[in-house]
Amino acid sequence: LGRMGYSYVETFVYREGSFYDYSPTEFKDLVEKNGMRFLGSMTFFDPVDKSEKEIKKWWDKTILDHKKAGVAYLSTSNNNLKNIKSLSQLKVYADYYNLVGKLCKKAGLQFLYHNHKDEFLKVQGKIIYNYFLENTNPKYVSFQSDLYWMVVAEINPVTYFNKYPKRFISWHVKDYKELGQSGKIDFNKIFLSAEKTGLKYVIAEVEDYTFPTITSVGLAWEYMYYELLK
């Protein structure tokens, strides 16, 4: 990745204090040795049926590990949205994201919420994604837009970037196969909104591999560098 030209990586998933069986400092050193930065990490902890004490205990340890690893941000997503039937249930998650975001900010980190397709379902007439955007504090919670999943949900990302400026500081740039190969997503048009969103971190992600992994990741870098970031 470093030789291709990538300047940073985001990991998936942090588990039991390690990153792919490396300690936080070991993984940080490995990434930096190869000319990149360990920038961000996707993390998962479901707050349902957990006390605030349990939540804070888990996140305090997680944040400490990520501070050792030198990351700039932590992100999370939610795979339980299809089971939510009321706004009061959504509020539990919004309050949780505000709490985690506050803990991260206190430690000098940013906290991001990452979307998939289910965020665009409705609960009691309210789009879940809109609810999260409107009920999380911008001081503590930013958003990481997965452009692919927004398009799959038949959502134009630009409409959200216009409605909620400066909330989307990170994007996952992903296509139906290798980046730019499907012709289904107008990334160039979407990237015109980069400044409006407050975009700081652009993450290439490959959803479906047509070629060997390393080839697909190389094609993603070439497309990002020569077509979108030129």
Mean pLDDT of 43-53: 93
Position 93 pLDDT exceeds 90: yes
Torsions phi, psi for 122 (to 5 deg): -110, 145
Q: What is the mean pLDDT of residues 19-24?
A: 96
Bridging pattern class, strands 168-173 and 8-11: unpaired
Portion of the chain with pLDDT greater than 90, in percent: 95
Stated pTM of the model: 0.96
CA torsion 122-127-132-134 (nearest 10°) is -140
In percent, the amount of the chain with pLDDT more than 70 equals 100
Please determine, for residue 98, whether its predicted confidence score (pLDDT) is greater than 90.
yes
pLDDT at 118: 98
Residue 195 has pLDDT above 80, yes or no: yes
pLDDT category of residue 13 using cuts at 50, 70 and 90: confident
Give dist(CA 158, CA 192) in Å, integer: 9
Q: Would you say residue 168 has pLDDT above 90?
A: yes
pLDDT of residue 194: 96
- As a whole number, mean pLDDT of residues 165-180 equals 96
41-46: average pLDDT? 95
Residue 12, helix vs strand vs coil? coil
User: What was the pLDDT predicted at 208?
Assistant: 85
Please compute the mean of the pLDDT values over residues 129-155 and round it to a whole number: 98
